[in-house]
Structure 1
Amino acid sequence: MGTYEQSLSSAVQHDEIEAMMQTKGISLTESIRIAFSTLLANKMRSLLTALGVIIGVAAVVALLAIGRGAQEEIAESITINGANLLTVRSGSLSSGGFGSDGGKSRSLIMKDVQALQDSARNPSVINVSPEYSSFGSIVAGAQNTSSMVTGVTPVYQDVRNAQLNSGEFISDSHVKSSTSVAVLGARVAATLFGTSDPIGQSIRIEGLSFKVIGVLKLKGGSTFGSLDDAILVPLTTAQTKLFGARDPYTGKPSLSSITVQARDEQSIRQAAQEIALTIREEHRLPLEGGADDFSVDNQQDLINTLTESRRTMTIYLGAIATISLIVGGIGIMNIMLVSVRERTREIGLRKAIGARERDILTQFLIEALTLSTAGGLIGLTLGVLIAVVANETGQSRASVSMSSVVLAVGFAMAIGLFFGIEPARRAAKLDPIEALRAD
């Protein structure tokens, strides 16, 4: 008799056999107690057997939590940024950023903005915000950081719903005179100045001195770049003093993008068509069938793209997690088959004193179910911890839902039942006489 069988005999046989002699069968409660006694008799083997289930459930819970967090973040982004915004950028996605003449794509310039502001040509458009953005190094005293620096005009405040916490926003006079002033997002202001009031203080952007005139309210959201981390300067200051951006065709200051506000969410598609037609006319491109040297994206398109990419990643990683669960199930089946072989005499003895086939079948199924459920609960705990760590470290937003908990643990239990059927069936079909003769 092996070590495992000896441990089992001392922990199980005496009380259970006596109970069976009294009841001519095994109750569900007794089967559960026997299952726990059996698994606890060999803790390390039970843990290693359940390892695949633990890893699979942890992965499923963590992935579903991260996917759910991403969806919540996307929904917040729609609310924060506005669902009726479109972004025009130079370079065509379909033509690889090259114009129809084979040269480099033409940049966006203020003439394009003025054309888009023409309500006769673009009746679905209510606001147009020209912008130039680039990453820059920021220094304030002993503090330094890198952040997105965006050149804007006063209309940006309305289009982006950029509310001030203190100070003032960029004005037309600042834009006309290319003044070196800046408005800080709430988070970057806290990074540079802590609890001190930034208004009136000086910062250096790419080595140039700027006076802080305003701080935005904390807005939240990070899917497409949060205003909390932005530094806003007058558009002309960004174009001429900071980045020197010019259109290669006209030599005029260029724009990195134009944000367009449609009348409402229902006008998005119509506004996109009007914008595309207007820019084609301004750039002297074919109105139909030609390659564009610009792109028009709306929030929903960007959101759909991001959602689809995250969904694809979740499916692939979920498949890996499922494979891990199946491998864990195979491990449970193998160890239960070994258990049946080691406990052949015990099974024969129980059948000899009155245990029915369904009693043996039930006992071994419960053992497999107990093993997989224990693994599922440990995996659930590990998955939740991963989600908590992801949230705390800011690596990813994760939100654990009750449905994901039920799905993961339920799947683990199903794995245990499915892969426990064959060992349980073999144990139940053993001939008691042959079993008692086994060594």
Structure 2
Amino acid sequence: MNVPLLILLPFKSLLRNKTRSFLTMLGMVIGIASVIAMVAIGEGASRLVESQVRSLGSNMILITPAAIQQSGVSLGSGSRMNLTPEDAEAIRRSVPGVKAVSPVVQARGQLIYGDRNWAPQSIRGEGEDYLAVKDWDIVEGAFFGADDVLAARKVCVIGSTVAENLFEDESPVGKNLRIQNMPFRVLGVLGRKGSSPGGEDQDDVVIVPWTTAKRVLRGSRFNNLDVVLVSSTEEGNIPEVEKDVTDLLRDRHRLGSDQDEDFRTLSMNEMLEASTRTTRIMTTLLACIASISLIVGGVGIMNIMLVSVTERTREIGLRMAVGARRTDILRQFLSEGVLIALIGGLLGMTLGGASTQLVRVLFHWPIFVSPEAVLLAFGSSSLVGVFFGFYPSFRASRLDPIAALRNE
């Protein structure tokens, strides 16, 4: 049987039973559309998480005090008070590959400007190198310097959310706002960062010198830090820098070889890998669930083709009687199964693409339809057509011509 005839005959067969052909394809349409949509939504979520993690700061290592254990019960991360400004300075001076270091002291308070007030998600005391650690830009004004940190001056830099809610259309730079009812001069406004992986608004923040946060806002007499942020010069040397920082702090804290660290380190690479691994697993699970529809669609193709073989028994016998070989019958029916699957696959890809765009518009969810997902869907529909169409085709090719012609 020549190729044009191999394509023409299945088309004619499908057109003779339009409704049945469409209903047979429907399982494939739903299956392929589900796979495309699930993979696109999952991949979009993965990229969103990746961008959010990277927005925390590229090449960054987070150092926090470890938890104290009492009677086998953890008092929570940061319950120790063993990270000091001297530790931060030692890391800056002694660890090769370190780009910048910022001590961190957390504070809380209400912001007041004129007759407006605002409770930011975060008031943070940071070092003068904070912007370099976080890869953050100033869009208006300037950041505070080493002199401001040394003198514990009442100056601050605010995020865009704080600027919009407190100052509305005014320029905040040079204005005084009150934190815990104490005046702070606004030096600058940070560029937009968006949400963190935890869903927090990173722009709803006030940054002050860490010395100011410690002495003025917290009134603390202890020489401890809440966190130390370290940025490496390049992404490739993060593991080496993290190891050197760990060795340095173990030495400074006089920890023996059999003692656990009294601090914890977490690199953005580790956080990114964990987040990406989670989203990949979820994407794979969603795709596997959606693939069940493909199997259902394939079973539907096989059932309809078995019915078709029974209905066309005399046609098969007649074709064999005039010279058609068993392989010709096999190819004819197999091509019908593949054609149903391919048309269903193409319609499914169209429906899947449209549904992902609908999700993007209605729910503002990031969508990414990769070429690999499209090729996978197209290949899957072809394989389903071959796999589930083979048995009915083989059964048709094994019919006895004489018995087939005798069939009513």
**Matched ranges for 1:125-144 at <5 A:** 125-132=98-105
Shift of 1:309: 1.7
Name 2:338's counterpart in structure 1: 369
Residue of structure 2 aligned with 1:431, choices 388, 400, 406 = 400
Q: Does 1:85 align with 2:57?
A: no
Q: Does 1:310 align with 2:279?
A: yes
Q: State how far apart, in whole Å, the 1-side matches of 2:379 and 2:179 are.
A: 55
Shift of 1:189: 5.0
Q: Taking structure 1 as reference, are residues 295 and 345 closer, same or farther at Cα in structure 2, changes over 3 Å only?
A: same
Shift of 1:419: 1.0
Name 1:415's counterpart in structure 2: 384
Measured against aligned partners, the alpha-carbon deviations of 1:388-436 in whole angstroms (never above 9, x if no partner) come to 3454456543322222211211111111111101111111222233223
Shift of 1:127: 2.5
Shift of 1:336: 1.0
Shift of 1:368: 0.8
> 3-state DSSP class of the match of 1:288?
coil
Q: Does 1:268 align with 2:238?
A: yes
Q: Taking structure 1 as reference, are residues 110 and 335 closer, same or farther at Cα in structure 2, changes over 3 Å only?
A: same
> 3-state DSSP class of the match of 1:233?
strand
Alignment check: 8 A CA contact 2:64 2:78 kept:
no
Alignment check: 8 A CA contact 1:107 1:255 kept:
no
Name 1:49's counterpart in structure 2: 24
Q: Taking structure 1 as reference, are residues 191 and 32 closer, same or farther at Cα in structure 2, changes over 3 Å only?
A: farther
Q: Does 1:115 align with 2:87?
A: yes
Name 1:16's counterpart in structure 2: none
Q: Taking structure 1 as reference, are residues 43 and 288 closer, same or farther at Cα in structure 2, changes over 3 Å only?
A: farther
Residue of structure 2 aligned with 1:259, choices 229, 232, 254 = 229
Could you tell me which runs of 5 or more consecutive residues in structure 1 were left unpaired when the two chains were aligned.
1-24, 92-96
Alignment check: 8 A CA contact 1:169 1:183 kept:
no
Name 1:335's counterpart in structure 2: 304
Alignment check: 8 A CA contact 1:184 1:212 kept:
no
Residue of structure 2 aligned with 1:65, choices 19, 34, 40 = 40
Q: State how far apart, in whole Å, the 2-side matches of 1:52 and 1:139 are.
A: 61
Shift of 1:296: 0.4
Alignment check: 8 A CA contact 1:31 1:363 kept:
yes
Name 1:169's counterpart in structure 2: 143
Name 2:353's counterpart in structure 1: 384
**Matched ranges for 1:226-245 at <5 A:** 229-234=203-208, 235=210
Moved more, 379-388 or 131-140: 131-140
Q: Taking structure 1 as reference, are residues 210 and 334 closer, same or farther at Cα in structure 2, changes over 3 Å only?
A: farther
Name 1:29's counterpart in structure 2: 4
Name 2:126's counterpart in structure 1: 152
Q: Does 1:346 align with 2:321?
A: no
Shift of 1:112: 2.1
Alignment check: 8 A CA contact 1:136 1:147 kept:
no
1:419 aligned partner, one-letter code: F
> 3-state DSSP class of the match of 2:334?
helix
Could you tell me which runs of 5 or more consecutive residues in structure 2 were left unpaired when the two chains were aligned.
none
2:133 aligned partner, one-letter code: V
Measured against aligned partners, the alpha-carbon deviations of 1:127-152 in whole angstroms (never above 9, x if no partner) come to 22122468999899899897555432
Q: Taking structure 1 as reference, are residues 61 and 143 closer, same or farther at Cα in structure 2, changes over 3 Å only?
A: farther
Shift of 1:276: 2.4
Q: State how far apart, in whole Å, the 2-side matches of 1:132 and 1:85 are.
A: 17
Q: Taking structure 1 as reference, are residues 252 and 382 closer, same or farther at Cα in structure 2, changes over 3 Å only?
A: farther
Name 1:214's counterpart in structure 2: 188
Shift of 1:34: 3.7
- What is the identity percentage for the equivalent residue pairs of Structure 1 and Structure 2? 35
Q: Taking structure 1 as reference, are residues 238 and 420 closer, same or farther at Cα in structure 2, changes over 3 Å only?
A: farther
Moved more, 132-141 or 423-432: 132-141
Shift of 1:47: 3.8
1:88 aligned partner, one-letter code: I
Q: Taking structure 1 as reference, are residues 90 and 351 closer, same or farther at Cα in structure 2, changes over 3 Å only?
A: same
Q: State how far apart, in whole Å, the 2-side matches of 1:195 and 1:399 are.
A: 36
Alignment check: 8 A CA contact 1:35 1:367 kept:
yes
Q: Taking structure 1 as reference, are residues 403 and 124 closer, same or farther at Cα in structure 2, changes over 3 Å only?
A: closer
Residue of structure 2 aligned with 1:183, choices 152, 158, 175 = 158
> 3-state DSSP class of the match of 2:228?
strand
Q: TM-score, normalised by structure 2?
A: 0.78
Shift of 1:173: 6.6
Alignment check: 8 A CA contact 1:182 1:210 kept:
no
Q: Does 1:300 align with 2:286?
A: no
Name 1:21's counterpart in structure 2: none
Shift of 1:196: 6.1
Q: State how far apart, in whole Å, the 2-side matches of 1:360 and 1:143 are.
A: 81
Q: TM-score, normalised by structure 1?
A: 0.73
